[in-house]
Amino acid sequence: MKLRKDDYILRFSGIAAILILINILMMSFSPAYFEIGFALGIMGAITIITTIAAAARPKVDPILDERSVRVNEKAGHHAFCVLLATMALLQLVGMIRRLNFDFKDIVPGLFIIGIWSWIMLRWYYNLRGDVR
Protein backbone atom coordinates (compact mmCIF):
# COMPACT_ATOMS: atom_id res chain seq x y z
CA MET A 1 0.00 0.00 0.00
CA LYS A 2 1.52 3.27 -1.12
CA LEU A 3 0.81 6.30 1.06
CA ARG A 4 1.02 9.91 -0.05
CA LYS A 5 3.33 12.25 1.83
CA ASP A 6 2.20 15.71 0.80
CA ASP A 7 1.73 18.77 3.03
CA TYR A 8 -1.87 18.02 3.99
CA ILE A 9 -1.13 14.46 5.09
CA LEU A 10 1.90 15.56 7.10
CA ARG A 11 -0.05 18.39 8.72
CA PHE A 12 -2.87 16.11 9.87
CA SER A 13 -0.48 13.44 11.10
CA GLY A 14 1.32 16.15 13.09
CA ILE A 15 -1.99 17.27 14.60
CA ALA A 16 -2.75 13.66 15.54
CA ALA A 17 0.67 13.26 17.16
CA ILE A 18 0.20 16.48 19.15
CA LEU A 19 -3.25 15.35 20.32
CA ILE A 20 -1.89 12.01 21.50
CA LEU A 21 1.08 13.69 23.21
CA ILE A 22 -1.25 16.07 25.08
CA ASN A 23 -3.40 13.04 25.95
CA ILE A 24 -0.42 11.27 27.52
CA LEU A 25 0.64 14.36 29.44
CA MET A 26 -2.84 15.11 30.77
CA MET A 27 -3.57 11.55 31.81
CA SER A 28 -0.22 10.93 33.49
CA PHE A 29 0.37 14.17 35.39
CA SER A 30 -3.06 15.37 36.39
CA PRO A 31 -5.86 12.98 37.35
CA ALA A 32 -8.30 15.90 37.45
CA TYR A 33 -8.12 16.20 33.66
CA PHE A 34 -8.47 12.48 32.92
CA GLU A 35 -11.71 12.87 30.92
CA ILE A 36 -10.31 15.66 28.75
CA GLY A 37 -7.13 13.66 28.14
CA PHE A 38 -9.16 10.60 27.22
CA ALA A 39 -11.24 12.63 24.76
CA LEU A 40 -8.06 14.06 23.20
CA GLY A 41 -6.69 10.52 22.86
CA ILE A 42 -9.82 9.39 21.04
CA MET A 43 -9.64 12.46 18.79
CA GLY A 44 -5.98 11.68 18.03
CA ALA A 45 -6.76 8.05 17.18
CA ILE A 46 -9.61 9.08 14.87
CA THR A 47 -7.35 11.67 13.23
CA ILE A 48 -4.66 9.02 12.61
CA ILE A 49 -7.21 6.65 11.06
CA THR A 50 -8.65 9.32 8.77
CA THR A 51 -5.15 10.50 7.80
CA ILE A 52 -4.12 6.97 6.82
CA ALA A 53 -7.36 6.54 4.87
CA ALA A 54 -6.79 9.85 3.07
CA ALA A 55 -3.14 9.05 2.38
CA ALA A 56 -4.01 5.68 0.84
CA ARG A 57 -6.42 7.31 -1.63
CA PRO A 58 -5.11 8.96 -4.78
CA LYS A 59 -4.96 12.74 -4.65
CA VAL A 60 -7.36 13.20 -7.56
CA ASP A 61 -10.66 11.54 -6.72
CA PRO A 62 -13.36 11.30 -9.33
CA ILE A 63 -15.46 14.44 -9.31
CA LEU A 64 -19.11 13.95 -8.45
CA ASP A 65 -21.52 14.55 -11.26
CA GLU A 66 -24.18 17.24 -11.01
CA ARG A 67 -26.96 14.81 -10.10
CA SER A 68 -25.04 13.34 -7.14
CA VAL A 69 -24.26 16.80 -5.82
CA ARG A 70 -27.93 17.79 -6.13
CA VAL A 71 -29.05 14.57 -4.35
CA ASN A 72 -26.69 15.30 -1.43
CA GLU A 73 -27.81 18.93 -1.20
CA LYS A 74 -31.50 18.10 -1.27
CA ALA A 75 -31.14 15.26 1.24
CA GLY A 76 -29.13 17.49 3.57
CA HIS A 77 -31.69 20.27 3.38
CA HIS A 78 -34.60 17.95 4.11
CA ALA A 79 -32.68 16.14 6.89
CA PHE A 80 -32.13 19.54 8.52
CA CYS A 81 -35.86 20.23 8.25
CA VAL A 82 -36.61 16.83 9.83
CA LEU A 83 -34.20 17.66 12.65
CA LEU A 84 -35.84 21.05 13.26
CA ALA A 85 -39.30 19.48 13.23
CA THR A 86 -38.15 16.83 15.73
CA MET A 87 -36.73 19.49 18.02
CA ALA A 88 -39.93 21.55 17.80
CA LEU A 89 -42.03 18.48 18.54
CA LEU A 90 -39.88 17.61 21.58
CA GLN A 91 -40.18 21.18 22.84
CA LEU A 92 -43.95 21.12 22.36
CA VAL A 93 -44.31 17.79 24.17
CA GLY A 94 -42.10 19.11 26.97
CA MET A 95 -44.23 22.22 27.34
CA ILE A 96 -47.57 20.41 27.27
CA ARG A 97 -46.64 17.54 29.57
CA ARG A 98 -44.49 19.70 31.89
CA LEU A 99 -41.51 17.42 31.38
CA ASN A 100 -38.29 18.72 32.82
CA PHE A 101 -35.82 17.28 30.37
CA ASP A 102 -32.56 18.93 29.50
CA PHE A 103 -31.55 19.24 25.86
CA LYS A 104 -28.05 18.11 26.78
CA ASP A 105 -29.56 14.68 27.39
CA ILE A 106 -31.42 14.69 24.07
CA VAL A 107 -28.63 15.94 21.77
CA PRO A 108 -27.10 12.47 21.04
CA GLY A 109 -30.52 11.17 20.01
CA LEU A 110 -31.12 14.21 17.82
CA PHE A 111 -27.70 13.72 16.22
CA ILE A 112 -28.55 10.11 15.38
CA ILE A 113 -31.96 11.15 14.01
CA GLY A 114 -30.30 13.77 11.79
CA ILE A 115 -27.66 11.39 10.42
CA TRP A 116 -30.12 8.58 9.73
CA SER A 117 -32.63 10.88 8.10
CA TRP A 118 -29.89 12.22 5.81
CA ILE A 119 -28.81 8.68 4.90
CA MET A 120 -32.38 7.54 4.20
CA LEU A 121 -33.30 10.67 2.23
CA ARG A 122 -30.11 10.43 0.17
CA TRP A 123 -30.93 6.79 -0.61
CA TYR A 124 -34.52 7.70 -1.49
CA TYR A 125 -33.59 10.60 -3.78
CA ASN A 126 -30.90 8.52 -5.45
CA LEU A 127 -33.40 5.68 -5.98
CA ARG A 128 -36.11 7.99 -7.28
CA GLY A 129 -33.81 9.37 -9.92
CA ASP A 130 -35.28 12.75 -10.75
CA VAL A 131 -34.01 15.44 -8.42
CA ARG A 132 -35.62 18.80 -9.06
State the pTM of this model.
0.54
SS (H, E, C) 62-114: CCCCHHHHHHHHHHHHHHHHHHHHHHHHHHHHHHHHCCCCCHHHHHHHHHHHH
Domain ranges for the chain, please list them: 7-56, 66-128
Q: Which stretch, 53-67, 88-102, 111-125, has highest mean pLDDT? A: 111-125
Instruction: Look at residue 132 in the predicted model and tell me its pLDDT.
Output: 62
* pLDDT, tens digit, 9 for 90 and up, residues 106-129: 888 888 999 999 999 999 988 887
Instruction: Look at residue 30 in the predicted model and tell me its pLDDT.
Output: 75
